Structures are given as structure tokens and as C-alpha cells.
Amino acid sequence: MFGNYQQSQLRIEVEASASTIADSLLRPAQLEKWLLGQRFAPGMPEEIYQGFQFTSWTGPVSIHHQVDVAKSNCLRLLLSGGIDGFHEWYWGEGWVQSRLEGISLLPLNLGQTLSLLSLRQFLLQSGKK
């Protein structure tokens, strides 16, 4: 894999319950609403589960995801292709934490920051409905 080794860990506060956050991260129909700039391969399940594999695209760059852990408070994805590494999500009442490590030409910290801000906005708008 070409690129630089990058790592980033971010935690934000959100106005949402742990179960609402879980739905936003584990249910592809919700994930697609806030995860900007990414497209998913067809055939996604209603809920992501351990062992499931899928591909997403950021522009022309494909990233293969293997779900290593999928629980009510965490999600760990093993990544290959455009990013060789992993992405972990942890959450609880009012907070979300994301840890991303890998080798890539993509600016991982920027993408991670924008994703968390987009998730926060999505949760804020969802809570007002």
C-alpha cells in the first residue's frame, strides 16, 4: 500500500442517547444519511453484524470493510484498499469516540473530523423531529 501511516482519535459530545447513536452507526440506512462523500455497495443488511464485509467508495477510491466487532456500544472495522488499517467507534450517553489508524494517501484526520461533525449535526436534527 502506498501512503503514509496516520492515526487519529477524536471524541465529541452529542445530544443523543446511546441507542440513537448505535442506530446511526450500525444501521446502513441511517449511516448513508450522514456519512458524506461515501457510497456503499448494494445489498447492505438492515444492521451491520460481526463478520459482514462490504465496500464503500470515497470518490474513485474503494475501501473494503470487514466488521470485526459490532456491539451495542462499539464498532470495529478492518480496512483494506484505499486505507489499510482499522476504524473503531465507541459511544455512550451523549458522546461518540472514533479511532482511525492506517496507511493511506487520503487525509484520514480531515475525513474523520468531517464525519464526526456530520454525525453530530445529523443527531441534532434527528432529535428535533
pLDDT in tens, 114-124: 999 999 999 99
Q: Is domain 4-127 classified as CATH 3.30.530.20?
A: yes
Sheet holding 74-81, edge to edge: 4-13, 95-104, 84-92, 74-81, 61-70, 53-58, 38-40
pLDDT at 2: 78
Q: Is 129 exposed, middle or buried (0-12, 13-18, 19+ CB in 10 A)?
A: exposed
State the pTM of this model: 0.92
Beta bridge partners of 100: 8, 87
At 1, the pLDDT band (50, 70, 90 cuts) reads low
β-strands 84-92, 95-104 pairing: antiparallel
Is pLDDT at 129 greater than 60 in this prediction?
no
pLDDT at 42: 87
Instruction: Write down the domain spans for the chain.
Output: 4-127
